[in-house]
Amino acid sequence: MTEKNKDYLIEEAKKEAGFFNKEYFDADKKQRLGNYLVPEKLIRQVTHPSSRPLNEREYACLLLGSLEGKKLLDYGCGDGWNTICFAKAKAMVWATDISEKGVELTKKKAAANGVSEFVTAEVQNCYKTQFPSDLFDIIYGGGILHHLDVEAAGQELSRILHPNGVAVFYEPIRENKIMDTIKVIVLRVLRRKPSEETENETPMTIERINLLKPYFKIINYRVFNVLSSANVLFNSELLKSVFLWADYILIKLIPGFFKLGRGVVIELRQPINLNNA
In tens, the pLDDT along 144-189 reads: 999 999 999 999 999 999 999 999 999 999 887 766 665 555 546 5
Q: Which long-range contacts (CB under 8 A, 24 or more apart) does 183-186 make?
A: 183/229, 186/230, 186/233
Residue 10 scores a pLDDT above 80: no
The answer to which of 129-138, 173-182, 262-271 has the lowest mean pLDDT is 173-182
Q: Is 60 helix (H, G, I), strand (E, B) or coil?
A: helix
Maximum CA extent, the chain: 56
Residue 14 scores a pLDDT above 90: no
The answer to which of 67-81, 132-146, 186-200, 225-239 has the lowest mean pLDDT is 186-200
What is the band of 235 on the pLDDT scale with cuts at 50, 70, 90? confident
Q: Is 166 helix (H, G, I), strand (E, B) or coil?
A: strand
**H or E stretch at 141:** strand 136-142
8 Å CB contact between 122 and 103: yes
For residues 49 and 61, give the distance between their C-alpha atoms in angstroms, rounded to a whole number: 6
User: Which pLDDT score, from 0 to 100, does residue 192 have?
Assistant: 57
For residues 192 and 31, give the distance between their C-alpha atoms in angstroms, rounded to a whole number: 23
User: Which pLDDT score, from 0 to 100, does residue 88 have?
Assistant: 96
What is the band of 106 on the pLDDT scale with cuts at 50, 70, 90? very high
- Residue 185's CB: how many other CB atoms inside 10 A? 10
Average pLDDT over the chain reads 88
**H or E stretch at 266:** strand 263-271
User: Which pLDDT score, from 0 to 100, does residue 275 have?
Assistant: 63
User: Which pLDDT score, from 0 to 100, does residue 9 have?
Assistant: 67
Report pLDDT digits (tens) over 62-87. Answer: 999 999 999 999 999 999 999 999 99
What is the band of 233 on the pLDDT scale with cuts at 50, 70, 90? confident
User: Which pLDDT score, from 0 to 100, does residue 2 have?
Assistant: 47
Query: Is the pTM here over 0.85, yes or no?
Result: yes
**Which whole number is the average pLDDT over 117-139?**
95
